[in-house]
């Protein structure tokens, strides 16, 4: 079976969850499926970046941004104007668009097209931002494009239900995978805290719906009781980030909070997980929830918001709290500090997550699904 991985949605070299998903799926399919050729579809300006992330052991089909626009409008026109590249695409049995929340290109009926939908939250966020006209246009255009996908993979039961309601399309749930913790861990070069200072970790974007504000507020309630306790946020810069240092200043905790906007290696991220006192995910919405699961695989206690997606994927391996209640989160943090989770329980949780979300299991589910089509 020949599988083409569509990475046309990648437009920069900044780290993100959906890029990580695409890179990981491509490398794991290549690793676990002997005799299967895996191709990569990407734009020419992103080729070097993608090769630096996943290597050159793939058959790359490279298009210009102008050709990408044609692919996005009408694949039949692309076939006429780029016959050689179209033949290369159609030589595969399947094309998997690893981010099909809004498909960049649609390939049916010329090749079987499988789209992975992570969530449909962007429409909600656009509406909340009062971009009404744009949201209405995006709503109908996204629905039309998703309906044209031949087959759909969703990454959680929550996303499955959202797609069925939104586009009246059935899908198959294939959970994301997480890597086993690395044995090589490097302390981030600019790590700001001393040896006697413990920290609470949150790794996420700084979008408002990730709800870092709640963690700051909860920490402000307890920081005087625990003078050596710190807060460490790891995320990427975006406009909504600006509110958080300002909030920390108003709460009187800015000297105890660190916002890391640096690009860290996987080994540095692994170090952060392993050395955190606990990990907190206060998000209002998640398509899956990579980071709390990764924290659990590093045997770190995890507090997560009691939203449906996190309850589905974290199961009984975390402690839940109301994402609208800072007092409750503060109490949960104090409970963990005063009564630390036993090591044997942390090992039990780690084993459950590594078994449920193993790379090999994800690839086997994908290949079984493709073979059934």
Does residue 182 have a pLDDT over 80? no
CA distance 127 to 133: 9
CA dihedral 371, 92, 95, 24 (to 10 degrees): 80
pLDDT of residue 130: 79
Q: Which two tokens stand for residue 26?
A: 């491509």
CA distance 102 to 72: 10
Strand order in the sheet with 3-6: 59-63, 38-43, 3-6, 94-97, 112-117, 151-154, 172-173
- Burial class from Cβ neighbours inside 10 Å (0-12, 13-18, 19+) for residue 47 reads middle
Q: Report strand pairing: 229-234 vs 257-260.
A: parallel
More confident position, 132 or 213: 213
Phi-psi region of 126 (alpha: psi -120 to 50; beta: other; left: phi over 0): alpha
- In the chain, the percentage of residues whose pLDDT exceeds 70 is 100
pLDDT band at 34, cuts 50/70/90? confident
CA distance 293 to 287: 13
Q: Give whichever of 36-40, 239-243, 269-273 has the largest mean pLDDT.
A: 269-273
* Interval 183-197: pLDDT, tens: 778 999 999 999 899
Degrees, nearest 5: CA angle 224-257-347: 85
Location of structure tokens 């050729």:
37
pLDDT band at 304, cuts 50/70/90? very high
Q: Which two tokens stand for residue 67?
A: 């050709």
- In the chain, the percentage of residues whose pLDDT exceeds 90 is 85
| For residues 208-217, average pLDDT | 96
pLDDT of residue 10: 97
* Interval 313-352: pLDDT, tens: 999 999 999 999 999 999 999 999 999 999 999 999 999 9
Does residue 98 have a pLDDT over 80? yes
The domains of the chain, with CATH numbers, are: 3-177+358-372 (3.40.50.2000), 198-356 (3.40.50.2000)
pLDDT of residue 125: 78
Radius of gyration (Cα) for the chain, nearest Å? 22
CA distance 69 to 105: 8
Q: Give whichever of 19-28, 129-138, 180-189 has the largest mean pLDDT.
A: 19-28
Q: Which two tokens stand for residue 356?
A: 């449920």
């Amino acid at each position: 079976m020949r599988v083409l991985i569509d990475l046309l949605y990648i437009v920069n070299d900044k780290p993100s969850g959906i890029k990580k998903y695409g890179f990981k799926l491509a490398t794991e399919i290549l690793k676990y499926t002997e005799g299967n050729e895996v191709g990569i579809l990407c734009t020419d300006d992103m080729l070097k970046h993608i090769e630096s992330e996943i290597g050159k052991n793939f058959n790359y089909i490279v298009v210009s941004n102008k050709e990408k626009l044609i692919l996005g409008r009408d694949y039949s026109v692309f076939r006429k104007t780029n016959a050689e590249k179209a033949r290369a695409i159609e030589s595969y049995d399947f094309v998997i668009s690893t981010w099909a929340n809004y498909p960049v290109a649609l390939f049916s009926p010329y090749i079987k097209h499988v789209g992975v939908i992570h969530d449909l939250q962007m429409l909600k966020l656009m509406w909340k931002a009062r971009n009404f006209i744009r949201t209405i246009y995006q709503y109908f255009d996204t629905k039309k494009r998703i309906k044209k996908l031949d087959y759909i993979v969703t990454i959680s039961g929550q996303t499955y239900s959202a797609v069925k309601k939104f586009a009246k399309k059935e899908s198959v749930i294939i959970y994301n995978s997480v890597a086993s913790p690395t044995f090589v861990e490097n302390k981030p070069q600019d790590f700001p805290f001393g040896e006697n200072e413990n920290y609470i970790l949150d790794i996420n974007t700084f979008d408002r719906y990730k709800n870092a504000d709640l963690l700051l507020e909860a920490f402000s309630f307890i920081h005087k009781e625990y003078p050596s306790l710190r807060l460490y946020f790891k995320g990427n810069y975006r406009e909504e980030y600006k509110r958080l240092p300002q909030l920390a200043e108003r709460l009187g905790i800015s000297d105890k909070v660190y916002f890391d906007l640096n690009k860290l290696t996987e080994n540095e991220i692994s170090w952060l997980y392993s050395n955190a006192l606990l990990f907190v995910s206060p998000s209002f919405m998640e398509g899956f929830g990579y980071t709390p699961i990764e924290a659990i695989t590093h045997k770190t206690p995890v507090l997560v918001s009691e939203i449906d997606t996190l309850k589905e994927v974290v199961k009984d391996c975390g402690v839940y709290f109301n994402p609208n209640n800072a007092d409750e989160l503060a109490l949960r943090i104090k409970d963990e500090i005063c009564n630390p989770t036993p090591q044997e329980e942390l090992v039990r949780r780690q084993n459950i997550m590594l078994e449920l979300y193993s790379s090999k299991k994800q690839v086997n589910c994908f290949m079984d699904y493709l073979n059934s089509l």
